[in-house]
Chain A
Amino acid sequence: MAKAYRLIFDENLCIGCQACNVACRLENDVPEGVYRLQVHVTTQGVFPHLGMHFERRSCVMCDEPPCVSVCPTGASFQSKDGLVHIHESQCITCKYCILACPYHARFINPVKNVVEKCTFCFDSRLSKALDPACVSVCTTEALRFGDVSQENSTVAMLSRKETLLFPKAHLGTKPKVCFIPARKGVKV
């Protein structure tokens, strides 16, 4: 049966340690200056009512990926599990997919000169039934990953319990990465 992967980022648990970011770089050999994954940390509010805002910036693995439909060579493709990958050999680096991505998740790997992005660590981990590197190192369990079609999976249970926000949901891209927004507000 096809998988229904979901990655949940809980902003309430994130402490902005960037362990996910570092793990991603190590696992996927991401060159300096570019990122498959980073957590943007911003301060919000007016002193003394300050709060921290954590935003995961990465590929959100759309079910309806605009980067796949624009690719002229089929290098950018969707697997039967709904994951979006790139055939490096067929990528001509026309950069059309980079421009088509509303999440700005794609970039050019300056070493290989091909378009690259998060793969949920498919080759090195997910295909061996291991969680993506970022999830495996998250110090506060702010990142949860699994198959939402399995009723007893952590992500399925979390999805039933929490209000999930899907980034730029109005675009109809149906991301597989979603987040639990901060419950605590700040004075603006």
Chain B
Amino acid sequence: MSPMWGSTAQYEVMHWSWAIAVYLFLAGISAGSIIVALLVKWNRHERSNSSIWDAMIKSGTLVAPVSILAGLFLLVADLGRPLSFYWLLIRFNPLSVMSLGVLFLLIYTPIVLVFTLLVFERTIVKYTWLSPLGSFIEWVKSLHSYAKTIEYFLMAAALCVGTYTGFLLSALYAIPLWNSPVLPIVFLTSSISSGIAVNILIGLVFFKSTINTESIKYLLVLDLRVIMTELPLLGIFFVGLLYGGGEVSSMAKAALSHGGLALVFWLGVIGIGLLLPLATVILALRSHVYRVGYILTNATAVLLGVLLLRYYIIYAGQIYLG
């Protein structure tokens, strides 16, 4: 086909840019870190001594609100008319995944903020200018009999936030690389893995508590499990597309083999994000060398990989339209 007349410029615009990729990353981190913090709180938390688990909860409740607020700021800033964003709040379309996302975020964000206030109560009461929060925290604490219920509710909200970003893309049948039922699961898994990574990273850097061989080993094993889930899931995602037939197959082939974007996938997502952590984890566990450095390298690599995955999916979808 040789176009003799006609402009295609308007079909080649990247309508959702890096800002959306970073938002998806931040929303995933937020949901993932709170999911991990809650799991730790329910299963591993030891009240009596300050352990690595305390650090995981603290970093989860610190990262979750910061990243979701930063993400929401990016999201609004990326709108063509940022000042009109209030329409999202006063209108609701139950058929639109974006509308559902707004609903989830409106439920999720305040609960996360309250959870953070509770976890950092001791820090907050130290500052007099934060004193109004003190009485609010006291009021929240009077509801302690509902604590577990609220935590379950928060877990459900976090799962919704972590998954809806996948459905946001997969709902569009106009875009072959996004329109896959596996995408929301891939996004949720990778957001949990980014949650683990960020909690480990922030926990070790800012809330460095008792780090012993046992906890390092546990975190490394945790890393290994998540990577071993994400790798096959990504495989299933692309095999599904490649078997999709017609333009779905050809677009998936192109996205995996052409240009810099394919490089981002193979080198960034698979290489740095999954294989590098996998190799270091296996090496460390095999040779019984448990160094904090390994964990930090792994966590950073995992986070970079998760960010690049979002970036790759956002751009590949819009470039390979069929």
- Decide: A91 near B93, CB < 8 A? Known: A16-B5, A35-B10: no
Encoded as 1 (CB less than 8 Å from any A CB) or 0, chain B from 75 to 86 comes to 000011100110
By a CB distance below 8 angstroms, the chain A residues around B172 are: 66, 70, 99-100
CB pair B91 A113 closer than 8 Å: no
How many residues of B are in contact with the other chain, CB < 8 A?
A: 36
CB pair B175 A113 closer than 8 Å: no
Encoded as 1 (CB less than 8 Å from any A CB) or 0, chain B from 158 to 183 comes to 00000000000001111100000000
Closest approach, in angstroms, between the C-beta of A172 and any C-beta of chain B? 9
Asked if B107 is at the interface of the complex by the 8 Å CB criterion, the answer is: no
CB pair B318 A99 closer than 8 Å: yes
Asked if A185 is at the interface of the complex by the 8 Å CB criterion, the answer is: no
Distance of A115 Cα from B85 Cα, bound (Å): 15
Please indicate which of the listed interface residues A70, A75, A91, A98 has the most CB atoms of chain B within 10 Å of its own CB. Answer: A70
- Decide: A94 near B7, CB < 8 A? Known: A42-B1, A73-B93: no
Asked if B87 is at the interface of the complex by the 8 Å CB criterion, the answer is: yes
CB pair A95 B80 closer than 8 Å: yes
Distance of A83 Cα from B99 Cα, bound (Å): 23
CB pair B91 A73 closer than 8 Å: yes
Interfacial residues of chain B within 284-307, with CB under 8 A of chain A in the complex:
none
Distance of A99 Cα from B16 Cα, bound (Å): 9
By a CB distance below 8 angstroms, the chain B residues around A35 are: 7, 10
Distance of A171 Cα from B246 Cα, bound (Å): 14
Which residue from A41, A70, A100, A101 sits with its C-beta under 8 Å from B5? A41
Which residue from B1, B84, B173 sits with its C-beta under 8 Å from A91? B84
Distance of A94 Cα from B5 Cα, bound (Å): 30
CB pair B79 A74 closer than 8 Å: no
Interfacial residues of chain B within 1-56, with CB under 8 A of chain A in the complex:
1-7, 9-11, 13, 15-16
By a CB distance below 8 angstroms, the chain A residues around B95 are: 69-70
CB pair A92 B85 closer than 8 Å: yes
By a CB distance below 8 angstroms, the chain B residues around A108 are: 13, 15, 80
By a CB distance below 8 angstroms, the chain B residues around A101 are: 174
Which residue from B2, B11, B96, B171 sits with its C-beta under 8 Å from A42? B2
Asked if B97 is at the interface of the complex by the 8 Å CB criterion, the answer is: yes
Closest approach, in angstroms, between the C-beta of B260 and any C-beta of chain A? 22
By a CB distance below 8 angstroms, the chain B residues around A100 are: 171-172, 174
By a CB distance below 8 angstroms, the chain B residues around A74 are: 91, 93
- Decide: A96 near B3, CB < 8 A? Known: A66-B172, A72-B88, A73-B87: no
CB pair A72 B98 closer than 8 Å: yes
Asked if A149 is at the interface of the complex by the 8 Å CB criterion, the answer is: no
Which residue from chain B places its CB closest to the CB of A101 in the assembled complex? Answer: B174
Asked if B264 is at the interface of the complex by the 8 Å CB criterion, the answer is: no
Which residue from A33, A57, A93, A114 sits with its C-beta under 8 Å from B9? A33
Asked if B321 is at the interface of the complex by the 8 Å CB criterion, the answer is: yes
Closest 5 CB pairs of A and B: A93-B80, A40-B6, A102-B174, A95-B15, A72-B98
